[in-house]
Every structure is written in C-alpha cells, then in structure tokens.
Amino acid sequence: MNPEQSEPWWKGAVIYQIYPRSFMDANGDGIGDLPGITARLDHVASLGVDGIWLSPFFTSPMRDFGYDIADYRGVDSIFGTLADFDAMCARAHALGLKVIIDQVYSHTSDQHAWFEQSRASRTGPRADWYVWADAKPDGSPPSNWQSVFGGAAWTWDARRGQYYLHNFLSTQADLNVHNPAVQEALLDVARFWLDRGVDGFRLDAINFAMHDLALTDNPPRPEGEGRRTRPFDFQLHVYNQSHPGIVPFLERLRGVIDGYPGDRFTVAEVGGDEADAEMKAFTAGDTRLNSAYGFDFLYAEKLSAALVREVIGGWPGTAGEGWPSWAFSNHDAPRVISRWAAPEHGDAMARLCLLLLFCLRGNIFLYQGEELGLPQAEVPFERLQDPEAIANWPQTLGRDGARTPMPWAGPAAAARAAHGGFSRAEPWLPMPDVHLDLAVDVQERDAASVLNLTRQLAALRRARPELRIGDFAPIETPEPLLVFDRSTQAGALRCVFNLGDAPLDHALEAGWRVIMAVNGAGVGASLPPRSGMIAERVE
C-alpha cells in the first residue's frame, strides 16, 4: 500500500474554525447559533477543507464567551439545543466534514455545579476539585501568580475562608486536575461527546491544567524580555502551568479516545514561554495527543523568512516526534493581514498568507473570514465585549476585532439581507463596511477573488501529498526571500515567497515549473512585493 494513502485523515488536514457567536444567526437575536452553522456548512464544504473546529457552545454565563463552562454536557440556549448540535453534526458528516469541538479542562465557570459544591465546604465530596489554599499570615494570596487577564490569579472566597486559583478571569476557577476524581469526570465528558459522534477535540489552554502543589512563587521576567502590558507579563510562568503531571493525564485521555472507532483527532492549544517543548511533550509517541499548536504565528507582529524557517524547521519529523498544527488567525489574535501589512496592501497580504499557510508542513487551521481576506475590525470602546480588551484598552487590539460577524451578503444585497446577511437583528458586535465589501456573495462572483484562491489552494493541497504530508527542507536565503521544498519519495515542490515590500531578483532554477502563483510571481526573473509561487520538479 502507498504510505501516503495509509495516513490518518487528520495528518496534513485543513480545518476551518467556526466561532459560533459570529458565524450565522438563524433565530434573529443578533448572536450566531448552531442552526445557523448548519445552514452555512455548504459554504465550508465548498472550500475543500477536511473538517470544522467549533469554539465553545456549552452552557455558560458568557463572562469569557463560552470558555467559562457551567455545564460540559449542555448546549447554551443562545446557541440552541443538543438536538441542534446533533443535526449540525449529521449535516457536517453528510458533507464529508469532520467535527472537532473545544474541551476546556483547565477551568470551569464559578457557576458550574462542581464549583458551587466545592466552595460550600472544605470537607464535602468535591471539596478538592478546585485549587484552594489558605492565605499567608498577613492575609495576602498564597503565591505571587498573576492572571492572564490582569491582576492576581487568586480570589478570596469568604464561604470557604480560602483563596481559589484562576489563571484567567476570577469567574474561571481552576480545576484541580491532580485529583483522580476530577480526571475521571473530565474523561466522562469526553466520552459523552464521542458518543454523540464528534471526531475529536481541541484542548484549550491545556498547559494550565495542573500547577505546582507547593505553590512556589514565579520568578520575575528579566528586564527587556518582551512587551509588558499586564502583570502576567512580568513573570516567568514556571510554577502556575506546565506541570509534568499533564502528560499522564493526556495519555489517559488518548486511551479513552482510542477506544472509539475511526481516526479521532486531538490537538492542544499551547501558549507561553515553553510552548515548543510542551507541544513536543504533549504529542510525542503514539500514546499522547495527535497534534498541538502554539502562538508562533498568531502573535508574531512581523512575518519573516527566519521566523518560518525556525518554527517549521523545529519539527523535522524525527522518530517519535509528534505532528504540529499552525494557524495565522483565530478568535484570540488580531487578524493576520492587519498585523503583517498596511491597509492598502491587505488584498496582496491575504493572498500571500494563504499561499504560505497552505504550504506549511503540519495541519493548518483556517479561521472564519480568513478565506475572504478580512482585516481586523475596528470596534469602538463602547461596543467592546471582550473583558481583556476592556481591561487593557487602548494598549492592546483585543479580541473583538477578530470576532465580528461573518459577512455573507455585500452592499448590493443590503436591502434584502441586513447586517451582511448574518442576522435580522443588530449583531452582538458591529460589522464594518470594509467587511461588507469582502462578503461571500461578492467574492463568489469574482473568479479571481481571495475566496476562490482559497478553494484552489485547498484543492492543490489535497491533490499533492508533498504539501499535505511531505518533508520540509528550508533553503538558506537572505531576508525577505523565503524558499523551501516540500517533498515525498514520489515528487517535490518548491515554495518561493517575497515577504518584503520591494521587488526581488530571483529566478527558478532549470527543472522547475510554476503550478500556482499569487501577486504576479512566476513571470520573469523578478518577484514582485508580497508575492509567492509553488513550482513542481519536472524531468
């Protein structure tokens, strides 16, 4: 058998991320929902992707818009019902799309029944399901740990007379995943959704799932290392995350998943100073997760050849090494073309980024609207919803600008499809005019649109094993020229990019033929600014 045909479906897959609040509103309340997703899955399938990843739709008070879960097995009423989820899942499968859902195992909402029972008593059956600790003699928190969203990572609870840990919002209490009973409860949650037919999980903030039991203070971050906009940025996060006990828990999870038929897929979200080492630890061998992704590209302020060579080259495919995943945009990061290009170069940068993303070794995540080349939306302060954006305004762009509603209908259709075809009501976040100009129906009519380029790239990646599962071999070149080969035993492709804002002299060597190009590349011996091409080796 051809080894390329024996690989699991997820290896080299293209997975489309859906942020349910902002994808499609079916009931007219201004918030996206599961029936809305079902109604628009034909669009996703038309892209040629392998599956979808849904951000949380679970029961939640929405302090962090679903990442504060109050019931792991329930669908929040703003999104629909379990029956709506089942119908969405069935429709996705009928269209040939796998379904990946978020699992948040590091924390729950403070309104989860587990937390309410835990805070009620120090001796109850769930007393140690969360991370509780006594105050220091002077009443201050048990350690100096800081929350990602600002301020101390500890909140005093008068009912227990103790502090509880929260690495994010104070309403997101950290589970004590050291506790075997907590682990078993989380594994039961996984079984619940696997039984409903999901094809895998994206594990949110999994490197925060366990903490140093001695509650050792984190050391300060050396002066000059990184930007500091939050107290969190002043520390090296040695003790509040990245505990070695996480790996055995992931092996338990993998054991549960392997008990189900088919190739189920697991991917970890891993951020922080030790992300690369954690990604490798979480995916090593055949008994842990299938893949992991970090924030190397998501938080990068500039695209460079050195960045790509270092990040992708750090996963050479040695024996026992896991399989990486990559994203340029998602619901937690400003949209990529606004980070890496001035507004007047948005269209060219969108095309360049898509070409590069589809050429990378590993799985790739395509965030809703990325196939349209959407820039970051500008959301006025009075319309902000993201607690991080509000707390840090105006020092950070926040996350709301990447979460605005999906534009389905452009200006010409405004009379019959208000709010860009997303909802009959005012959306929960505003939709900028520039997004309406890039709407799905506008780009459907343009064969040269970013949307249709996305479809061409997905088809090429599906057709060429070199792009999907091939080796990555960087070729040393001066900035801003990026060149690398993707190859299997059956063939080779050369990927060439000018990441700069001026033309470069660069001609393909003899024996290569261009099969895909953007922004004028592949014509003559000059590479225009922000251009790229893929060439195949010919005899």
Catalytic residues: 204, 269
Closest CA to 355 of 213, 482, 218: 482
For residues 274 and 312, is the Cβ–Cβ distance under 8 A?
Answer: no
Question: Quick one: which of 19, 21, 199 has its CA closest to 100?
Answer: 199
3-state secondary structure of 408: coil
| Conformation bin of residue 62: beta by default, left when phi > 0, alpha when psi is -120 to 50 | left
Residue type, 260: Y
Position of tokens 């208000």?
Answer: 418
DSSP string of 312-328, one letter each residue: HHT----TT--EEEEES
What is the spatial distance between Cα 127 and Cα 118, in angstroms, rounded to a whole number? 4
Write the CB contacts of 420 (distance below 8 Å, at least 6 apart in sequence): 405, 406, 407, 408, 409, 410, 431, 435, 436, 439
Alpha helices for 196-341 (secondary structure H): 246-257, 275-283, 305-313, 336-340
For the record, the structure tokens of 336 come out as 């990529």
Concatenate the DSSP letters of all residues of 464-514 into one string: -HHHHH-EEEEE---TTEEEEEEEETTEEEEEEEE-SSS-EE--PPTTEEE
Q: Which of 537, 530, 538 is nearest to 356 (CA)?
A: 530
Burial class (CB within 10 angstroms; exposed 0-12, middle 13-18, buried 19+) of 382: exposed
Amino acid making up residue 309 = R
Q: Take residue 283 and report the two structure tokens written for it.
A: 């995916």
Residues in the chain, how many? Answer: 539
Helix (H, G, I), strand (E, B) or coil at 445: coil
DSSP label of 360 = S
Question: Terminal CA-to-CA distance of the chain, rounded, Å?
Answer: 26
In whole angstroms, give the CA distance from residue 451 to residue 441.
10
From CA 323, how far away is CA 265, in angstroms rounded? 11
